[in-house]
Structure formats: C-alpha cells, structure tokens
Amino acid sequence: MFWALMKKLGGQSWAALVVIAISVLMTFLAKAQESRPGISCILEVSSREILPFEPLYVMVSLVNESNREQEVEIIPRAWVRLGIPGQDKIKWTKPFAGGLMEGPPPPPKRVRLTPNERLTLLRRIHADAPVPRRALIQKPGIVYVQGRVIGVNNKFESEPVKVEILEPQGVDAEAYEYLRTEGMNLPPSTLPRSLRQSWAHSGMKEREMPTPGLYEFFALENWYGWDYGEEPIKELLKFADRFAPSRYARHARLGAGLLRFYARSEVRDVGKAVRLFQEVAREGDDLAALAFYYLGQVAEQRGELAEAAQYYERALSLKIDPYFRHLAEKARARVESRLSASKR
C-alpha cells in the first residue's frame, strides 16, 4: 500500500516526502540530544535575605549528573527572571540578563561536561531590575529568582529560589529612606565625563540627563572602567559618614574603593582603595569577606602573589557568599599556580 501511494504521488512528491521525513527525524534527534536526562540547571544566590537596594548576585550552573560525558550547545550567558507571590502562583517577569547595560548575546558554544562537572555562569541582578519603574528589590517583600541557560534547541531552567527583602531597622532604616528619596537621583556630575559629553553633543541638556542612584555604586559593575570624576566618590563617602555604622554605609565604602581601584581616570588611586577595603574588612562578616577578596585583587594586580593568596584565603575563611566564594576559589587557585610556576 505504501509503495502504491508513492507511485501515485510521483517522483517529485516522493522526494519531497523523503526530505520532510529526514528533517523531522533530525529535529527529533537534536531535541533528544539537547534535552536528554542528566543535565541539571542549578541557581545559587548570594543571600536569601537582603536589604532593599543591596546587591544580589547569582550563579547559574549546568551540572552533568549522569555517569557519562555529555555535550550541549548553549548561549554562554546566564538569564534570570524574577517573580512575586500571587494568589495562586508566582507572577514572573520576562527573562533578562541581569544587568541594564548588556550587549548582544554571545554566539552559541558547544560545551562538553564530564560526569559531575559543572559550567557556572555569573550574574548580578541590578537593583533596577527588571525595569526601573517596576524594580522588585528596592522595597521589602518576597521575590523569587529563577535561573535559565538557553540552548540551541532547548532551555535549562533552575528551581525557583526565594529571597526575602528585609525591612531595614535602626540606622539602616534611615539610610534606606535617604536612598529611596534624595539618593535616587544624584547630580549629573556623578556621571562619567565621556557619557556626559556624548549626550551633550547629541543635544541633550544637562538637566535632561538620566542620573544614577547612589545604590548603583554599591557593587562591582562593568561601568567602573569608565572615566568618572571625584563626584560619585564624594557622594558615597558623605553617605557612609552620615549613616555609619549601617550596612548600607559599608556598601558605600566598598563602592568608593571599587571606583578608586577600577576607574579609568585620574580618580584611580590604589592606595586609597586599599584603605577603604581595609576599613570594611575589620568587621569580620560577609562584607568583610568581599573586602578581603578585593584586597586580594589589588595584591594580585601588583604582582604580590603570596599576599594575594593570603587575602583570598582570609576571604574564604569568613562568611562569604556562594558567588564570591566561587570567585575567590578560582583566584586562589590562579595565584597558587603562578607561585608554583615561579619556583620551578
């Protein structure tokens, strides 16, 4: 019956059916390859309890939980989405890449994972996410975070992780009130000079320029390499002095130190960055762990590898969050490898 049907359809139709059948088979095999069991997506957050405006970092990992090597083709970028509790289910935002200054996604990449091996992608969730007018981590409440890695033929999603945005207390409450009012729009002078010049050249008046909130300088971001002047550092330190000893004030000192260390302008001053990091490191808590990590970065950049290894070790000995633990462990291994190589 099948051959009779093919004969009736004719040669061209027969060839078309063969092409369609092969295409369907290849699609099926590709999907089976991509979605085969054993590859899990796991999300870890820097903390399950944060204050409003605090930096929230995530690690999205693909883990091969099978007993054989597997290959996947993915876009090597972590995506996240945020959700708020609804009456019956979580109301999710659209997936986004975490930051607000993202370039186009990188091209797909084939990744081989041996048994128990993991591929980890790091991401900071910006305090304005998903968009400034609907920011979800700027006020107390419950937020769910879900990680995603997009494959060529499929996607890998983590289980949602619940994060509680705490109600600030005491001096933290005073600092929070400042951040959500006066500190929400800093003067245009806190913008990078090249950005101000570019906008001015396009005809934008200074009063029309979108200005940053003070909280945007609390975390390591790609714009620390810009040509900032002294103004954002002055704003951060003024805030830190006014609201000491709040947790927000220590974030501000870390931010000022990061600007001193990473800025691509005359404000770069490694000595002042070290002093700011050392001030935060005295407390011995999770923010101190970050300060020791950054002190390790400074020492490593200076070529002081033994000292850098000690700083990374000190960071790991404290209550460091999973995100910076991952960075510190990689950094420690890197400098120890360089130290070993120098002794040969």
Contact indicator for 98, 125 with CB cutoff of 8 Å: yes
pLDDT of residue 6: 41
pLDDT of residue 22: 43
3-class secondary structure, 38: coil
Helical segments of 10-100, H only: 11-34
Contact indicator for 152, 108 with CB cutoff of 8 Å: yes
Q: What is the mean pLDDT of the chain?
A: 84
Per-residue pLDDT at 179 exceeds 70: yes
pLDDT of residue 221: 59
pTM above 0.85, yes or no: no
Segment 91-100, tens digit of pLDDT: 998 888 755 4
Quick one: 208 exposed, middle or buried, by C-beta within 10 A (0-12, 13-18, 19+)?
A: exposed
Quick one: 42 exposed, middle or buried, by C-beta within 10 A (0-12, 13-18, 19+)?
A: middle
Segment 101-147, tens digit of pLDDT: 456 778 889 999 999 999 999 888 877 777 666 678 899 999 999 99
3-class secondary structure, 107: coil
- Which amino acid would we find at residue 232? P
Average pLDDT over residues 305-321: 95
- Which amino acid would we find at residue 106? P
pLDDT of residue 273: 95
Rounded to 10 degrees, the C-alpha dihedral 8/14/17/18 comes to 140
pLDDT of residue 88: 84
> What percent of the chain is predicted at pLDDT more than 70?
84
Number of continuous H segments (helices) and E segments (strands) in the chain: 10, 11
* 16 vs 54, more confident: 54
What does R_g of the chain's alpha carbons equal in angstroms?
25
- CA nearest to 237, candidates 267, 206, 207: 267
Segment 241-283, tens digit of pLDDT: 999 999 999 999 999 999 999 887 788 899 999 999 999 999 8
pLDDT of residue 267: 83
Residue 171: band (very low, low, confident or very high) from pLDDT cuts 50, 70, 90: very high
* 225 vs 289, more confident: 289
Q: How far apart are CA 214 and CA 181, in angstroms?
A: 10
Domains and CATH numbers, the chain: 39-165 (2.60.40.10), 171-342 (1.25.40.10)
